[in-house]
Amino acid sequence: MSPPGDIPRLAPEEALAALREWDFLDLARRADAAARRLHPEPYRTYAIDRNINFTNVCRSRCRFCAFWRAPGDPQAYVLDKAAVAGKVREAVALGATHILAQGGLNEALGLAYYEDLLRHLKAEFPAVLLHCFSPPEICYLAEREGLPVEAVLVRLRAAGLDSLPGGGAEILADRVRRLVSPRKCTAGEWIAVMRAAHRLGMRTTATMVFGHVETPEERIEHLAAIRNLQDETGGFLSFIAWPFQAGNTELARSGLLPPGWRPTSGAEYLRMVAVARLFLDNVPNVQASYVTMGTGIGQAALRFGANDIGSTLIEENVVAAAGCVHRSSPGELQRLIREAGFEPRRRDSRYQIL
């Protein structure tokens, strides 16, 4: 089935039909056209950054995650501010203008640790944008300190936080969250953190981890939650979806995956990207995920609605813990963009061209 004629805005049921049955190449053409309407310029973007995970100790113990460790585990760690600064220094030397810092929900670390880390990094690297701490971390800190979410965000922003990443969204449907991340914030709490951040003038990103226990309807529920909040606040800069990586995860061993489950194919991933671009008509940027799918599929996503191929990811630990390791260099990302028919441009975490 091919998509119907011009659609001002996809309704959820139309997005569901697109996900299930629209002709693959027609869907690609429409998503590409939607991306070109938002980004008529001849270039597509990439970034140089580093994903610093300052602790892998996490009380959440999500079933889809192979990265977390329990307190006292021989592989458990916490980085002090000097160690984190050393990683930032290495990234800056390689051209990074922003860094992403996130950690597990480590009950030994309170708000003071986060504030001290931000102040130290901002003092040493005043020009580096600090894109840090996902909504589950904010919810954890609010609970631990007995503070409202907005008060936590105000304190972190005063310490140097520039923007908030969209991690911890997984699928914004509580049935799914009870199965894969029962100790993590609810879908409503994730949205509430983002709403509070946007009201404070902070820009954020939105993510999705799909291809595990969710239904197609729940994928659209996730997209609708993001679109609805964006209608309200306009605070999301981008959307990034990536498929569940099963290696070394409890979810793969637990029997919770549907019968006949198989990893997300390249075609399934590209269809998800295209539907997201069409449905999220109010989110300016859609980023490809070559880190999980490989550079070839990441490049193809630039013709399925993505306008950004992602970053070099000087360091990435969470996906790598599941056995999925894809790295790239600025030169390779530039080549991939050129071969997709665009000019490459480097950006920062605000999607500003450098």
Kindly report the CATH number assigned to the domain that includes residue 133: 3.20.20.70
Residue 243 within any structural domain of the chain: yes
Q: Which of 83-97, 202-216, 233-247, 326-340 has the lowest mean pLDDT?
A: 326-340
Distance CA 240, CA 131 (A): 15
The predicted pLDDT at position 292 comes to 80
CB 209 within 8 A of CB 170: yes
- Report pLDDT digits (tens) over 89-105: 999 998 999 999 999 99
For the chain, give the percent of residues with pLDDT over 90: 76
Distance CA 136, CA 285 (A): 23
Q: pLDDT tier at 317 (50, 70, 90 boundaries)?
A: low
Residue 4 within any structural domain of the chain: no
Does residue 10 or residue 325 have the better pLDDT?
10
The predicted pLDDT at position 102 comes to 94
Beta strand 129-132 pairing with 98-102: parallel
Torsion of CA 48, 51, 54, 59, to 10 degrees: 160
Q: pLDDT tier at 335 (50, 70, 90 boundaries)?
A: very high
| Model-wide pTM > 0.85 | yes
The predicted pLDDT at position 319 comes to 47
Mean pLDDT of 327-344: 91
The answer on pLDDT for 183 being more than 90 is no
Residue 351 within any structural domain of the chain: no
Crossing angle, helix 266-279 and helix 12-20, to 10 degrees?
160
Residue 109 within any structural domain of the chain: yes
The answer on pLDDT for 4 being more than 50 is no
The answer on pLDDT for 208 being more than 60 is yes
- Whole-angstrom distance between the N-terminal and C-terminal Cα of the chain? 42
Does residue 275 or residue 289 have the better pLDDT?
275
What are the phi and psi torsion angles at 57 (to 5°)? Answer: -75, 125
Distance CA 331, CA 287 (A): 18
Q: Which of 1-15, 71-85, 114-128, 175-189 has the lowest mean pLDDT?
A: 1-15
Mean pLDDT of 42-70: 87
The answer on pLDDT for 123 being more than 60 is yes
Mean pLDDT of 226-252: 91
Mean pLDDT of the chain: 91
CB 176 within 8 A of CB 213: yes
Residue 127 within any structural domain of the chain: yes
Q: Enumerate the β-bridge partners of residue 47.
A: 311
Range of the domain at 131: 12-346
The predicted pLDDT at position 300 comes to 96
Q: Enumerate the β-bridge partners of residue 220.
A: none
Torsion of CA 263, 180, 205, 117, to 10 degrees: -120
Task: Quote the tokens at residue 306.
Answer: 């993505």
CB 138 within 8 A of CB 193: yes
Distance CA 183, CA 101 (A): 21
The predicted pLDDT at position 118 comes to 98
**Considering its fold, how many domains does the chain have in total?**
1
Contacts 24+ apart (CB under 8 A), 259-263: 261/212, 263/211
DSSP state of 312: -
Q: Which of 20-34, 63-77, 230-244 has the lowest mean pLDDT?
A: 63-77
The answer on pLDDT for 230 being more than 80 is yes
Ramachandran sector of residue 146 (left: φ over 0; alpha: ψ -120 to 50; beta: rest): left
Mean pLDDT of 245-254: 77
Q: Which of 78-87, 165-174, 311-320, 339-348 has the lowest mean pLDDT?
A: 311-320
